[in-house]
Structure formats: C-alpha cells, structure tokens
A and B are shown apart, each in its own frame.
Chain A
Amino acid sequence: MAKKKFVVGCFDDEEVLFPAVGKVRTAGYKIHDVYTPFAVHGLDHALGLRETSLHTAGFIYGITGTTTALSCISWIFTKDWPLNIGGKPHFALPAWIPITFELTVLFAAVGMVLTFCYISQLAPFVKKHHFHARATDDLFVMVIECTDKTNAEDLKAFLAANGAVETDIQIAEEGWWLGRYDKDEMRFENKQIVAA
C-alpha cells in the first residue's frame, strides 16, 4: 500500500475553520479531508464536495421493494395458489397495500444503510488511520495531501497563521476495503508476482 505524506492542521472552532478552508484551497493545496466531531453544515460545499446521491439510491431501493411486494403477492394469489377467501377477488389490491408499503420502507432503509456503510467503508473490524484522536471530541482536523512540490514546513506555518492550534506531519497509508486498494494506485507489479 502506498504511504502518503499528509500535513495535519487542527482547529478548535468551526468559525476559524471555514475561512482557513477557503484560504488553503485558494493557495492551491489539495485538502484530503476534514475530520469533524459533528456534521458541520456547509463544510462539504466549502470543500467543493459534490452532493451525495444516497437519497437517489434510497428511492431505487424503495421502488424495488414496492415491485417485489406487488409482483410476489399477485403471482402467489392469482397464479401459484389462488385461494378462495369468502368468494372475494383473487387480485385484492387494497388488502395488499399495507405489506407493499412496509416492504418499500424496509428495502429503502436496509439498502440505504448498507450502501452508506459500503461507500463510506464502514464496517466492524475495519482499520483506518485516525489523524487525531480528538477529531471525534472537539477538534476540526484538516488533512492536506503532500505532493512532490509541497513544502510541508511552509504549509504547517501557513495553517498555523490561519488559526490552526496544532499542526503535524503524518505519513499514513490508505486502508483496504474489500480487496480494493486506493484508486490512485495501480498495483500491477504485485499482481504479476502473485501470478508467477
């Protein structure tokens, strides 16, 4: 796995963090991520992240649930085993609404949570590099990826000048996720060794 060098700047106030994010981006640095103890609204826009499509996935899972319920029940009650219930119609749509609704919700919720965990690489026993232990307590931790051209010391000073209370240089590697390594990296050499 590729180890990368990161410059870490910790802020103790989101009101200092926002202008700092702007300045760091204008200066042309690549912000790897900002780790925050709670959802700071607007930070995703400040970082230039695109909107999440998770809700669209949720909608698709939901209609999958609707279709599953309706198609299964109607097949069972009209084709597979038509049951005469007091002479009432076999295709009894109104009576199927409750189950259809429940399955819509169930599919949407379960699908969304699993998708959320998968794309965010969250699962039990997953090891990740934590840049600062207080990122889940009271610090807003900005992590900047260094390139060949980056002067880490300069960057540290730049962050401190913009209000970082703590700065640091860390070498970290990307975690694995279901056999898929960080997308930036091509691991062809290793593969050949294994094949030979």
Chain B
Amino acid sequence: MLAQNKTTPFLLGYRLYVVAFFIFLAAPLISAGAFAFNDSLFPALPWQGFTLDWFFGDTEPKLGMFHDRRLLQGLYYSFVIAIFVSALSVFVGTTNAFLFVRGEFPGKNFFYILMVVPLVIPGVILGISILVLASDTANYVENRFDLELEFLRPGLMLVVLGQFSFIATITSLVITARLKKFDATMEEAAFNLGASRARVLRTITLPFLRPAMIAAGIVAFLVSFENFNTTLFLVGSEAPLTITMYDRMAKVGSTPVLNAVSFFLMVGSGLLALLSIVVQRDKSAR
C-alpha cells in the first residue's frame, strides 16, 4: 500500500491526511487556550482584543484565576494529591519492578497479569468499589467500637488511594521496562570488588533506574492531576481542580477564566512532559 521512495499523488494525499489529523488534534486545545486572552465576558468569537485580565484581573466581572480563591484552592489540593500519589506509585512501582524482574516465585505470570489489570478497569468502577469498601469498614468500626475513622470517609486520603490504585500499574510498567535492560554483570563486578548488597543497590542499581523513576513520577503526577472519573466518587469537601472546574462548567456556565486555567495547565503539563522525556533520554543509550 505504502510505496516509500517516489513522490506520488498517493504520498501527497497521505501527507495532507497527516497534516489534517494534526489540525484536528490541535484545534480544541487552541480554542481552549486562545480565548483566555479575549477581552470579552464569554469564551466565544468575535475577538474583542487582547487582555491578561482572566489571569490577573482582581475585580468582579473579570476576576482572574490568580485572584479566584476557589480555583486556587483546587489547584493546591490537586498539587497535594498528585505529590502523594506519585511518591507512593514510584515506591510501589520500584518494588514491583524488582519483584517481577529479579524474583522467582510460583504463579509469577498470574501475578504479573494481576498487576496490569487495574489499568483496564474503568476509573468509575475503581472509584465506587473503593468508596464502598471504605464506607463499609468505617461503618463497621463505628458500630462495633464506637470509633469514627475520619480518613475512610470521602476526602483527600481516599482520593489519593483511588488514584494510586491504577497509577501504580503505570509506574510499575515504566520502571520494570528499565530494570529489564540492566546489565547484571555490573552488579557482579561490584560484588567481586567487595561491595555489600546495600551498597551495590545504592551506587549501581538505583542510579541506573533513576531516569525511569523520575519519568514515572512525572507521568504519575500528570495523570493524577488530570484524573476525574475516579476522583469524582471519592472527593470530600477538599475538591481538586478538575472537580472545581467541572462544577463551574456545569453550574455557572463557562467564562474565560476557565480558558485561563486550561492555558495554565496545558503549559504546565507540557513543560513537565518535556522534562520527563529529557530525563529519560539522558545517558540511556536506547
């Protein structure tokens, strides 16, 4: 089908198709970002001139995102949740990588599939199942021992656990892939030179894994930051940014301040994603 060397009409059409696809890819992102700079009360055409009010404006009809307390709070909670989720996921991802690359135990393939499964369970289901178990446990403890376990009620803790439940799979896969490429003779050489186990781990193996751990951490951070489905069922009064934005969109209707937040998030996650790529490329002769 796809002749490669000569420029035929077919190849030209193919190129046009690829260009059209990337326009399709970019269009909604551009429209979400661009209206942040439109000097109008609605995110719609016509273009009324350039403004930064939707970022920095401090008076009511045009209250900018950096003066909007609820949005800033959402940003803060999202940040806290994402930090905890990525730290936990990188830790468990690393132990899983050692478990499945180095460990020998019965039923290893079965457990490996079990590790991948959370990724294909719909996020909504993860959310409700964890909500059900946590509430059941909390109710039981309350009835039986008259103890109120606040952390098992919807709130930050449950959101972190809910997101961690499937993000850990992503970090495990990333770090496992890296550990598989490790050359075992490097460790043997260190052992032969008289190094202890802990020292080999600290000076040889973990530095080798570091790019993958950092990249996995960034991916976990971003996935956590943008998660909605799982979070929706587990959220308490401390709503992260995606939930706050959704409430705004559904109840108040959209104003360009949402475009400003979108622009801010797109630039932020774009930079982080680039960082993760740079970190992974660094020194890892792939």
Q: Do A and B bind each other?
A: no
